[in-house]
């Protein structure tokens, strides 16, 4: 009992039983949103183990000087307490029949229904519906439909609750509370450190058998709370409907930054009135139509195979639309999207390596905004570099608001041996993020063909990051330049030297800067002159050339295995079988602390293999194959980022069965039956990884040296795979079977050159 996959053919994921101990799973995986706001799908009624959450993208705040900035959990707008003949509606008590909770990912609609009999024997059929509008970015709409077997008195208590915290940290000051026209409830709260004003407005419509019920409201105001109370007498067989229309606006909203809080209060109030006038059905219908327009028609994906595989692809697309702030280039994607407090809403390398490809190939306008965010956050990258004694742009491992700089917490968890807090080294020495950002900018520009982006932002990003790498190199006794004391993508290995991924990507970054130096000097002298004045390109060029010629790049051993770092291959080999078969991640950390793990040949997640994924044609097939086999056996996939990379590379290696098995595991990280997987929020990057498994792995898409390659490798379980990608402004439809692949240029305004199964074709 738990997750129900019986309706996935209709785009519906369901929960078939109510368990008050595992509420977090569906709160997160069934969350709603539109990139501006994210709403955890907590129930209308309250439970002990619930975690309510409403997050507005880009509204960061710091609780105090000892904590880092995080995305604040705003006031709760969705709670509705119901009392039936004096008894609270609660599935903790009474009798439950015919329970289901369903998320329709095609329309972004949440529905819950239950037949409940109260402890005193009052029976109610209850249906709860909810949307976050994709059309009206500030709007939340709910509808509750109740019918009774007996005459009853129903009391409704509903409004706005500002007592919500981020696991105890209160980020808001209590503010103005209003009750307009005895109907519209409004609450103002302001973040304590960043000073962002939030305006929330909500209102109710009550209907009895389809007719509006003019019930007088009682008003309840308390500290951080404002509620309305309604009482209705319902006869047996009558249908009682409660509709709740809510919205949230902030002073950080780009279109309202010139407004004061009182003007935003008026905007919020008028929007609530407009939503009520439209009604729930219209709001739901127009939002569903927007889902088709923005996602399903724009980036169709079809798998002829097991239904769960096709649903997993669509589920990934659904969540990738919820999480991305496509409306604003001042913000990016959090590691949990907008579905929970995990990782504090911060942005990691996840965006560039795992998520960005989906947006580049399906929604390049959105991808550009994600890249512009990195450019706009350069001041924080400069500050981090200067603080650490380096030049150029050293990007934070965790990023939040544009000028926040590094926001990685310094400590977390507990060492199982010492009992002391574990220091988080990522913010200090996981430095590959800088070349990841550069790679993302290059990847976007090449695939999209957006030279305006390169002229305004891209060249500067790539050169500024290359300046950092040149200053980061350390000369060794061997006359080579080394990058010492880092954490690579494999975060089980701390304080290592010459991590292959870090070194090769730093080398790529400097080499790309050299290439662009010549292009600008010869073809774009105005841009060259501007950047030369800003960055000192003449001097930087010498450092890049010197760095590229002398940087130590690990080479494969006599077994063709590329060393992950300077000592991985000489560490102790242990039997990892029980950890490879573990049901839940992190099993090894219960037996060893990180210091001990550092001495073992074990990887948390893909490391060298990500290098083969990004820079595929810089390594021979023999090296990739030998290294893949070596590290796959030693990788525990204790990160949601790992399985997809291994799956894509397994496809490349011709390991079709393993590729499919890893894809299925990747697709079940949040979607699967384990009810504790997603309490802190969904795993955002894993959804990008699922799409990469399908389109990069099985679909065979790759951009190599600026050229497009399509070489499908379908698993045995699939008959056909269809998808679309946008390449340099041209939308290509790809249809692959086990024996054939068809590619059509749907746009047809420019000729596209593509390598299909080894043959160069022009479309």
Provide the annotated active-site residues.
491
User: What span, in angstroms and rounded, lies between the C-alpha atoms of 593 and 417?
Assistant: 7
Task: Tell me if 609 sits within 8 A of 603, measured CB to CB.
Answer: no
Torsion sign over Cα 320, 325, 330, 333: negative
Rounded CA separation 459/644 (Å) = 30
State CA 268 to chain mean position distance.
28
Dihedral, 580, 586, 588, 592 alpha carbons, nearest 10:
170
- Angle between helical axes of 656-671 and 684-692 (0-180°, round to 10): 150
Specify the DSSP element, H or E, that contains 443.
helix 433-448
* CA 331 to chain centroid: 12
The torsion defined by the Cα of 485, 486, 490 and 494, in degrees rounded to 10, comes to 40
Nearest to 72 by CA among 409, 344, 428: 344
Determine the Cα–Cα distance for residues 206 and 232; give it in Å rounded to an integer.
9
| Sign (positive or negative) of CA dihedral 509, 513, 515, 520 | positive
Q: Are 199 and 259 in contact (CB under 8 A)?
A: no
Half-sphere exposure for 150 (CA within 13 Å, toward CB): 12
The CA distance from 666 to 651, in Å, is 14
Question: 408 near 424, Cβ under 8 Å?
Answer: yes
In this structure, are strands 139-148 and 239-250 parallel, antiparallel, or unpaired? antiparallel
Element (H, E) at 184: strand 184-191
Count each helix (H run) and each strand (E run) in the chain, helices first.
22, 31
Do the bridges between strand 481-482 and strand 411-414 make them parallel or antiparallel, or are there none, so unpaired?
Answer: unpaired
């Amino acid at each position: 009992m738990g997750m129900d996959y019986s309706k996935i053919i209709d785009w519906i994921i369901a929960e078939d039983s109510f368990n008050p101990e595992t509420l977090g799973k569906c709160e997160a995986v069934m969350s709603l949103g539109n990139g501006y706001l994210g709403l955890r799908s907590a129930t209308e009624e309250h439970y002990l183990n619930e975690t309510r959450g409403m997050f507005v993208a880009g509204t960061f705040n710091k609780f105090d000087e000892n904590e880092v900035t995080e995305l604040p959990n705003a006031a709760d707008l969705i709670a509705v307490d119901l009392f039936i003949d004096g008894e609270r509606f609660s599935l903790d008590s009474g009798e439950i029949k015919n329970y289901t909770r369903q998320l329709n990912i095609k329309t972004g609609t949440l529905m819950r229904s239950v037949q409940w009999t109260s402890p005193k024997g009052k029976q109610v059929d209850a249906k709860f519906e909810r949307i976050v509008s994709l059309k009206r970015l500030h709007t939340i709409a709910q509808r509750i439909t109740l019918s009774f077997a007996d005459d009853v008195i129903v009391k409704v208590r509903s409004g706005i609750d500002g007592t919500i915290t981020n696991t105890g940290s209160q980020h808001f000051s209590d503010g103005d509370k209003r009750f307009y026209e005895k109907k519209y409830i409004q609450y103002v709260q302001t973040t304590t450190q960043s000073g962002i004003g939030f305006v929330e407005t909500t209102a109710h419509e009550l209907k009895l058998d389809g007719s509006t019920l003019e019930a007088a409201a009682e008003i309840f105001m308390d500290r951080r709370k404002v509620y309305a109370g309604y009482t209705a007498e319902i006869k047996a067989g009558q249908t009682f409907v409660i509709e709740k229309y809510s919205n949230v606006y902030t002073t950080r909203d780009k279109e309202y930054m010139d407004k004061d809080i009182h003007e935003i209060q008026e905007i919020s109030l008028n929007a609530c009135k407009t939503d009520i006038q439209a009604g729930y059905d219209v709001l739901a219908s127009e939002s569903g139509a927007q889902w088709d327009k923005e996602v399903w028609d724009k980036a169709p994906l079809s798998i002829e195979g097991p239904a769960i595989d096709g649903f997993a692809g669509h589920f990934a697309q659904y969540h990738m639309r919820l999480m991305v702030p496509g409306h604003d280039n001042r913000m990016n994607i959090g590691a949990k999207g907008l579905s929970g407090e995990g990782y504090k809403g911060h942005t990691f390398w996840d965006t560039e390596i795992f998520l960005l490809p989906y947006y580049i190939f399906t929604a390049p306008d959105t991808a550009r905004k994600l890249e512009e965010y990195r450019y706009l956050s350069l001041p924080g990258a400069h500050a981090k570099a200067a603080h650490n004694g380096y030049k150029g742009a050293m990007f934070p491992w965790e990023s939040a608001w544009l000028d926040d700089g590094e926001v990685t917490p310094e400590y977390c968890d507990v060492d199982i041996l010492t009992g002391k807090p574990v220091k988080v080294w990522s913010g200090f020495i996981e430095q590959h993020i800088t070349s990841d950002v550069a790679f993302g900018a290059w990847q976007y520009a090449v695939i999209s063909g957006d030279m305006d982006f390169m002229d305004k932002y891209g060249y500067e990003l790539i050169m500024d990051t290359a300046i950092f790498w040149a200053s980061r190199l350390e000369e060794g006794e061997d006359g080579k330049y080394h990058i010492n004391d880092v954490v690579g993508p494999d975060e089980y290995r701390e304080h290592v030297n010459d991590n292959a991924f870090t070194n090769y990507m730093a080398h790529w970054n400097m080499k790309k800067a050299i290439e662009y130096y010549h292009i600008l000097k010869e073809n774009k002298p105005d841009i060259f002159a501007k950047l030369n004045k800003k960055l000192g390109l003449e001097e930087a060029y010498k450092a890049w050339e010197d760095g590229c010629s002398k940087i130590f790049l690990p080479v494969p051993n006599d077994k063709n295995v590329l060393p992950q770092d300077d000592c991985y291959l000489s560490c102790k080999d242990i039997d990892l079988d029980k950890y490879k078969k573990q049901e839940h991640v992190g099993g090894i950390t219960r037996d060893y602390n990180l210091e001990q793990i550092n001495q073992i040949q074990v990887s948390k997640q893909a490391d060298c293999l990500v290098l083969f994924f990004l820079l595929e044609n810089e390594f021979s097939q023999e090296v990739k194959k030998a290294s893949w086999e070596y590290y796959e056996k030693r990788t525990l996939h204790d990160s949601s980022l790992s399985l997809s990379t291994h799956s894509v590379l397994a496809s490349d290696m011709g390991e079709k069965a393993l590729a499919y098995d890893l894809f299925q595991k990747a697709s079940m990280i949040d979607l699967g039956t384990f009810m504790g997987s997603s309490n802190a929020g969904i795993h955002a990057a894993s959804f990008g990884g699922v799409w990469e498994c399908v389109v990069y792995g099985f679909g065979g898409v790759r951009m190599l040296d600026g050229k497009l390659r399509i070489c499908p490798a379908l698993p045995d379980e699939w008959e056909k795979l269809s998808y679309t990608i946008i390449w340099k402004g041209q939308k290509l439809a790809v249809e692959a079977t086990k024996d054939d692949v068809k590619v059509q240029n749907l746009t047809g305004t420019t000729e596209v050159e593509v390598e299909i199964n080894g043959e160069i074709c022009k479309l």
